A and B are shown apart, each in its own frame.
Chain A
Amino acid sequence: MNSINASLQFVPISYYLFFCTVLFCIGVTGVLIKRNALLILMSVELMINSINLLLAAFSTYLNDPAGQIFVFFIMVVAAAEVAIGLAIIVVIYRTTHSIDIDILNKLKW
């Protein structure tokens, strides 16, 4: 375990931080510019996976397993979220025959 940690710490933490932030921003951009509900869902998954990577990196550098345990919890929650999300998209498709979010304008601010 220690040798794995040592070899992982060969890359400085700032690299991981930068990489994960970029991945997270790609996910955020995807959510903001895509109009297809499925693609938005995939962008959210990208955001969550970048966070998982960041937590695992921090946990390695801090020599503290809590971060990696948290990653398991996040994976479970993300799986539940995807299951619910796909079900919602199926229901929407049945009533409107489209998954473009622009057609949803019955309720307005």
Chain B
Amino acid sequence: MLTIIALTVLGVVILAEGMLGKKSWHLPTILVGLLVALVLALYGWNRNLHYYNSMLVVDNTSIAFSSVLIFTTFIIFMFAGHYYKDVVRPLDDIYAILIFALAGSVMMTNFGNLIILFLGIETLSIALYVLAGSHKEAITSNEATLKYFLMGSFLSGFLLFGIALLYGASGSLNMDEISRYTLREAGHLSPIFRTGLFLVIIGLAFKIAIVPFHFWAPDVYEGTPTLLTAFMATVVKVASIVALFRLFSNCFSSIREIWEPTLWILAVLTILVGNFTGIYQPNLKRMLAYSSISHSGYMMLAVLAFSARSSGSLLLYAAAYSVATVTAFGILILIRGAKGNDLYTSFEGIAKKNPLEAVCLTIALLSLTGIPPLAGFMAKYYLFTTALEQGYLWLVILAVSGSAISVAYYFKPIVAMYLKEGDGIKLEAGFAFKTHLIFLTILTLVLGLLPVFLINLL
């Protein structure tokens, strides 16, 4: 609760600074404000607070995931200074909307009532429609925002219709009431409730970009300004997965047999289609879009195999995925700044003049692939063992083969950087940018060596 208030106030403060014309104050204020929000979030640890008749429920799981979201936004903002260095126009609107989107995603991890779930999703989405189109002069950015807006509002309609049907059948919007209803009526659920459940799955699947509701993702990711794509691929994805996880583990765990086959098929489709299509992408940005799709398939395993350990392994996975993806997007910003595009050919031979950047990108991509001893491997290991303990043998086999396929595209930029001859361009990364890259890479290594720390938190 305090976190959401702090983030909202931070956004308003940024707008006020913009009004006063203090452009150089934005980033320091944001970084300090995000740290304050992080501390406020951790302040509620082990307290299990309920606000406003359980509309917001702040327990340890939601605190851990909100902290991951705030931290990811923090590391994305560390790149903002470099990304917007040539932009003359005031940036307070973009920064403030980004912070408001973060507030929406924190609501999505803390909800105890379907109203708050819907409000969180819409706060996040409406902010993102604006951010996707924030490069007004570029026609690709315009196209991305229109596609995202039309698809997003259409699919929120499905989510909303689903929530309305759940309300009509169970008589309440509160999660505890709904879970009591499902427990009571487990054997003979009304068709209204079932329809509502599937409409909610469709609505959330769109927000997470699960196959077959993923068509918007690569286009929107490509058209959106790169820094904001990093936000979409990490914060938005993690927040939506956590919302799905929270909803299903708290409300619908007693009627598993109804939704389990659907989610199983969606997870398998997401992993296979995401990985196979990823191979055929011409540039790194679209490749990362498909990579994010397939990773949401892996994270669905935690939703399916719900047990005492699955929230811990989902937390580790979300953290490992976010850090590695933000690193990759950092290098992408550099490459696009130097060459104007991010085709694989632009990566040829850059390792010679820029060893640090090449190593950082390589470690990030290896972590996304799941090579030991990096964070991505440990995250996949714990997630897959949790799923195996719950008896999802075939799902795990398909997921492992999917991650073997992913080697084919994750290694393309690595091969281009180290084994091909290029024009030997020097990337202009400042000292702060390089330090941040090193910090993120060390974080990936540390998460891989000490994963138990995060797992045992929950």
Whole-angstrom CA separation of A47 from B140 in the bound complex: 28
B126 at the interface (CB under 8 A from A): yes
Of the candidates B115, B133, B157, B219, the one having the most CB atoms from chain A within 10 angstroms of its own CB is B157
Q: How many residues of B contact A (CB 8 A)?
A: 38
A88-B149 in contact (CB<8A): yes
Whole-angstrom CA separation of A84 from B168 in the bound complex: 30
Binds A, one of B27-35, B159-167, B242-250: B159-167
Q: How many residues of A contact B (CB 8 A)?
A: 43
B218-A109 in contact (CB<8A): yes
With both chains docked as a complex, state the minimum distance between the C-beta of A58 and any C-beta of chain B, in angstroms. 4
A37-B172 in contact (CB<8A): no
Of the candidates B122, B144, B164, B223, the one having the most CB atoms from chain A within 10 angstroms of its own CB is B164
Q: Mark A12-45, 1 if CB is under 8 A from B, else 0.
A: 0100010000001001100100000100110010
A47-B119 in contact (CB<8A): no
Q: Mark A44-60, 1 if CB is under 8 A from B, else 0.
A: 10011011001100100
B61 at the interface (CB under 8 A from A): no
Interface residue from A62, A81, A108 paired with B171 (Cβ < 8 Å) = A62
B256 at the interface (CB under 8 A from A): no
B119-A77 in contact (CB<8A): yes
B149-A84 in contact (CB<8A): yes
Chain B contacts with A in 207-248, Cβ cutoff 8 A:
215, 218-219, 222-223
- Chain B residues with Cβ under 8 A from A69's Cβ? 115
Known: A37-B146, A51-B160, A70-B173. A81 touches B122 (CB 8 A): yes
- Interface residues of chain B, those whose CB is within 8 Å of chain A, are 115, 118-119, 122, 126, 129-130, 133, 136-137, 139-140, 142-147, 149-150, 153-154, 157, 160-161, 164-165, 167-168, 171-173, 192, 215, 218-219, 222-223
The 5 closest A-B pairs by CB, nearest first: A58-B168, A47-B157, A107-B219, A104-B143, A77-B122
